[in-house]
Amino acid sequence: MTVVKDSGARAIMPPFGDEHEQLRETVARFVAAEIAPHVDEWEAAREFPRELYRRCAELGFLGLKFPEAYGGQGGTHLHDAVWVEELAHSGGSGGVAAGLNAHTSIAMPPIFNFGSEEQKQRWLVPGIAGEKIGALGITEPGAGSDVASIATTAKRQGDAYIVNGAKTFITNGVRADFLVCACKTTEEGGHGGISFLVLEREMPGYEVAAKLEKMGWHSSDTGELAFTDVEVPAENLLGEENGGFKLIMANFAWERLVMSIGAVGAMRRLIETTVAYALDREAFGHPIGKFQAIRHQIAEMATEAEAARAQTYDALRLFHEGRDCIKEVSISKLLTQRTALRIADQSLQIHGGYGYMREYGIERAVRDARLGPIGGGTDEIMKEIIGKTMGL
């Protein structure tokens, strides 16, 4: 069989252009130099230093998609997508990516999209500067997929809301300075009775109840929060009272795209690492990558990763153009998370016993990838959404 040598050079893939590719190189250099070498240490410490937010902010990475007036770079979601993909590709830590992305991709966007000018000055500006860290609190001990059934209450009393309840599985929940928090503002709650309030960690009655131990994402903090009669000034209401469901839906699209793009970056890293290992490792007198079984396995991994990337970039294009894309985003989330998990597991198999050891970062990739089909809306919920968009 004739071997066709491929130079590896690729034309720039839409929706990205030259400018994005330059940013990609800058981000990749930064992540390889200032994040990747520390990942093992941060995973063991169960957190990355808070200082990393400041450093990323200094380089402009926390505000890529926000206007310059708030300290951002005045870019678009495409610039942010480059950051998210390269953070996963060059960093190799789901936890570091989760901690940074929860701040930039799920906690700050609602403030930018729904906040008043005064609220933007209070939380978005210091957030972009890496001075205040944000988290998004929707999930509760008794309500995950069924978002509308949250039980945390916010009862209006004069100029304030009195908040009681609990949130769990909150990324950055332990270190967050502010929490964009979903609360019930009517007796019935549900779609027409949820509002968002910004809670601040120093408010009396706001308690970090636990830092949760988990399977992967070790360098990110995942918190359980408890609220006992927390008095939240009415001026901390984000958007309209009882209009919170709109905010949740608006946020989910970008969150799910971010998870899809992160998986695309993680898959690229896994395949590069696996090809290098398969060419280096010898068994029975040959590099293992020269065995047809392994060569075919890697070819299938590359095929699945490329298909997932094409789907994700297309959903990103639709989102960027402001078109309806709930179906395409849900398909990307469903496709990329399972594919990334499968590819991580196959990479581990090809690495043999070394894959099971900490040294290569492959076992971490498997553990980190397992969250994908759960977080940000489970696979089953993605299928429900896709089915509903098809009239089922």
Ligand X SMILES: Cc1cc2nc3c(=O)[nH]c(=O)nc-3n(C[C@H](O)[C@H](O)[C@H](O)COP(=O)(O)OP(=O)(O)OC[C@H]3O[C@@H](n4cnc5c(N)ncnc54)[C@H](O)[C@@H]3O)c2cc1C
Residue numbers at the binding site for ligand X (CB under 6 A): 102, 135-139, 144-145, 169-171, 214, 217, 222, 371, 374-378, 380-381, 384
- Minimal distance, residue 112 CB to ligand X, in Å: 17
Instruction: Please enumerate in sequence order all residues whose Cβ is within 8 A of that of 367, keeping only pairs 6 or more positions apart, or say none.
Output: 94, 215, 216, 217, 218
Distance CA 196, CA 323 (A): 26
Structure tokens at 312: 């994700």
- Minimal distance, residue 250 CB to ligand X, in Å: 15
Do residues 351 and 293 make contact, with C-beta atoms less than 8 angstroms apart? no
Nearer to ligand X, 33 or 44 (CB): 44
The end-to-end CA distance of the chain, in Å, is 48
- Minimal distance, residue 306 CB to ligand X, in Å: 27
Give phi and psi for 134, each to the nearest 5.
-110, 160
114-to-22, 139, 172 alpha-carbon distances in Å: 31, 20, 21
- Minimal distance, residue 172 CB to ligand X, in Å: 7
DSSP tag of 140: B
- Minimal distance, residue 252 CB to ligand X, in Å: 10
Do residues 109 and 77 make contact, with C-beta atoms less than 8 angstroms apart? no
Nearer to ligand X, 148 or 203 (CB): 148
112-to-67, 69, 70, 124, 217 alpha-carbon distances in Å: 10, 12, 10, 7, 27
Do residues 131 and 54 make contact, with C-beta atoms less than 8 angstroms apart? yes
Nearer to ligand X, 60 or 109 (CB): 109
Residue nearest to ligand X (CB): 144
Q: Which residues is 183 bridged to in the sheet?
A: 195
Q: Which residues is 210 bridged to in the sheet?
A: 224
The single residue listed with the structure tokens 């609360």 is 183
Q: Is 200 considered catalytic here?
A: no
Nearer to ligand X, 297 or 330 (CB): 330
Nearer to ligand X, 212 or 302 (CB): 212
- Minimal distance, residue 71 CB to ligand X, in Å: 23
Active site residue: 85, 86, 140, 255, which one?
A: 255
Structure tokens at 268: 């690229």
Distance CA 48, CA 108 (A): 20
Nearer to ligand X, 214 or 295 (CB): 214
Instruction: Please enumerate in sequence order all residues whose Cβ is within 8 A of that of 43, keeping only pairs 6 or more positions apart, or say none.
Output: 93, 95, 218, 219, 364
Active site residues: 255
